[in-house]
Structure 1
Amino acid sequence: MELELRHLRAVRAIADTGSLTKAAAALGLAQPALSAQLRRIEKALGGPLFERDHTGARPTPLGELVLERARVVLPAVSELQQEAVRFANACGPMERFRLGGTHGPLLGGLVDRLVTAHPNAPVSTYTSWSEAEVASQLVDGRLDFALIGVCGESPPPASDRLTWQVIGVDPVFVMLPESHPLAAERELDLAALSAECWADVPGDGCFADCFVSACARAGFSPASVYETDTASVVHLVQVGRAIGLCRATFPPVPGLVTRPLAGTPLSWRHLLGWHPRSAAAVSAAGAVSGHTVAAYADAVGRSESYSGWLATHPGFGPAG
């Protein structure tokens, strides 16, 4: 029997879990099948790789040697696969644009501009609430560019492997129905909203914790927070079940208003990302960056409440 990558993955899974039963579950195999596979691996390598008893499985000296090599080989093969995908896409000018994004106001604007500027290049989109998932698609070469947002000054995902450009910095506004008693105010104190229920879009960054902390500084704990998709956030605000948390560039919705919070306790950075060694970085990063900046400027211009607020709040808006 020749040793294969799947055999190394099985050995590593057994070592990581300390149990054939747990390793089999992690690998999606039946435990007897994994035991039989381990016996074949040990026969091919010349000796037992694990000592097994009622407490679990522990590597033998031979097992430690194999594990040491496996921990080098498996990541190297994974990186080779990623590099091969990027290389396969690195020939000639951009013939397509594969865009990813979290739920925000800029992706549609970027698609519109790219389709206009490159009418013969297909544009596809992939969206997720998870910034980390979108970033992993960039790392793997499945996306060319991604638009995400991060809370405050928190670092973007995979910042050691991807290039991230700050497009703009928004304060976080609140979304109210026009009939709300505070809808006519130019600016709202967070404490004045202590009795409200809240709605926002989920994410895997620190925004939820930062919001709770901001409420605590204002002297209250939010009664409830509905984390749901953008359309449901808008609906909950329209029917008076909650007030929404949104970026200041959130597009206008009939019957709703957006208002800034006094002191700007929460902020949001819009980021455009790409892999620095991808075909996209070589042939199109500058152009896509320009289109994204323009899409952000359009989003700012559509919000009267934000445009007026920016005039007296330097440090926000388009990145300088």
Structure 2
Amino acid sequence: MELELRHLRTVRAIADAGSLTRAATALGLAQPALSAQLKRIERALGGALFVRGRHGVRATALGELVLERSRIVLPAVTELQQEAARFARAPRTARHLRLGGTHGPLLGALVDRLAGVAPEARMTTCTSWSERELAGQLSDGRLDFALAGTCGSAAPPGAEGLVWREVAVDPVFVMVPGGHPLAGRPEVDLTDLAGEEWACVPGDGCFGDCFTASCARAGFTPRRMYETDTASLVHLVRVGRAVGLCRATFPTTPGIVTRPLTGTPLAWRHLLGWHGAAHLPDLTATVLTEARTAHADVAAGSDSYTAWLSAHPVPYAGGRPG
């Protein structure tokens, strides 16, 4: 067994507690498990580190040596981790942008816009269905910007030091196959879908609860909900297995039509996030502006959304709330 930092922390915990029993409690371990771990550490180091007595444990000469070195090594590693985190969150230039986003067309449109205004920049992307995961990557300095979202007016993903700005607000549309009886309507009442099964992409916000509540107000309980990736969602809709729930910006897809819901019972708020200590103001302003323009470009590519916006210019005109 090779010695690891966690082993040094275990030795320090035993020495600080003065007994295996108290150390096990502090570490959240059973005493037999801690004893077995200590034996493995001692075998790796070549001798006993502690002597047990009636009043607890005391370090052997070898144990004192290990403790003395751990007092140097552990703080140094902690300082290294802190410096690395500060470095990762340091202000960056446009030479390399790490962008994250949930699944959908907006991230690609933003990359396209930024490539146009900063052709020299290198960009990498990361997608996740979890807004919380994206927030964590921003907080850890692994992403520079992230496109996430919330259902309606729900609070954005929480993490200390993060800043979120609204990019746009979309109504939630339904996806049905082109041959569906409701496909020819300009909008669909939720009550007309009471007998359908449903499909949507997963998320860790309140969208599922909000959808269920909207159905309850419409007088029914939704049948089975398939939570799956976008490609599988499209397949389930195309074959008539389910009605899909999507943002209004969902691109036109052969064999499928998207239609607004009467009264707009559900909305999705697109957000751009970054760490408050991590960016130059000019860079942040540029990315936010391009994200809003990218949304407008994507919205313009959807015939059903364009028609809906013409009939509902407020508060969604330009994708921005009034």
Spell out, residue by residue over 1:203-243, the C-alpha distance to the aligned partner (whole angstroms, 9 max, x if none): 11111111111112212111111100011111111111111
Tell me the distance in 1 between the aligned counterparts of 2:174 and 2:297: 20
Q: After superposition, where does 1:31-70 map in structure 2 within 5 Å?
A: 32-34=36-38
Aligned to 2:276: 276
Structure 1 residue 17 and structure 2 residue 21: aligned?
no
Structure 1 residue 154 and structure 2 residue 154: aligned?
yes
Deviates more, 1:298-307 or 1:267-276: 298-307
Q: After superposition, where does 1:134-283 map in structure 2 within 5 Å?
A: 134-158=134-158, 160-278=160-278, 280-283=279-282
* Letter aligned with residue 305 of structure 2: Y
Structure 1 residue 291 and structure 2 residue 293: aligned?
no
Tell me the distance in 2 between the aligned counterparts of 1:75 and 1:161: 21
Cα deviation, residue 117, structure 1:
2.2
User: Where do 5+ consecutive residues of structure 2 fail to align?
Assistant: 14-22, 43-47, 58-73
State whether residues 5 and 74 of structure 1, in contact with CA within 8 Å, keep that contact through their aligned partners in structure 2.
no
With over 3 angstroms needed to count, the CA separation of the structure-2 counterparts of 1:14 and 1:150, relative to structure 1, is: farther
Cα deviation, residue 94, structure 1:
2.2
State whether residues 146 and 272 of structure 2, in contact with CA within 8 Å, keep that contact through their aligned partners in structure 1.
yes
Tell me the distance in 1 between the aligned counterparts of 2:182 and 2:315: 27
Aligned to 2:118: 118
Tell me the distance in 1 between the aligned counterparts of 2:209 and 2:195: 19
Aligned to 1:309: 308
Aligned to 2:86: 83
Spell out, residue by residue over 1:114-136, the C-alpha distance to the aligned partner (whole angstroms, 9 max, x if none): 22222222111101111111111
* Letter aligned with residue 118 of structure 1: A
Cα deviation, residue 7, structure 1:
4.6
With over 3 angstroms needed to count, the CA separation of the structure-2 counterparts of 1:5 and 1:217, relative to structure 1, is: same
Q: Percent identity?
A: 49
State whether residues 175 and 245 of structure 2, in contact with CA within 8 Å, keep that contact through their aligned partners in structure 1.
yes
Provide TM-score, normalisation by structure 2.
Answer: 0.77
Aligned residue pairs total 283
Aligned to 1:56: none
- Which structure's CA Rg is the greater one? 2
With over 3 angstroms needed to count, the CA separation of the structure-2 counterparts of 1:215 and 1:83, relative to structure 1, is: same
State whether residues 82 and 139 of structure 1, in contact with CA within 8 Å, keep that contact through their aligned partners in structure 2.
no
SS at match of 1:106: helix
Provide TM-score, normalisation by structure 1.
Answer: 0.78
Tell me the distance in 1 between the aligned counterparts of 2:212 and 2:77: 41
* Letter aligned with residue 86 of structure 1: R
With over 3 angstroms needed to count, the CA separation of the structure-2 counterparts of 1:118 and 1:16, relative to structure 1, is: same
Aligned to 2:62: none
User: Where do 5+ consecutive residues of structure 1 fail to align?
Assistant: 25-29, 50-69
Tell me the distance in 2 between the aligned counterparts of 1:34 and 1:143: 39
Tell me the distance in 1 between the aligned counterparts of 2:156 and 2:30: 36
Cα deviation, residue 18, structure 1:
5.6
Cα deviation, residue 176, structure 1:
0.8
With over 3 angstroms needed to count, the CA separation of the structure-2 counterparts of 1:9 and 1:228, relative to structure 1, is: farther
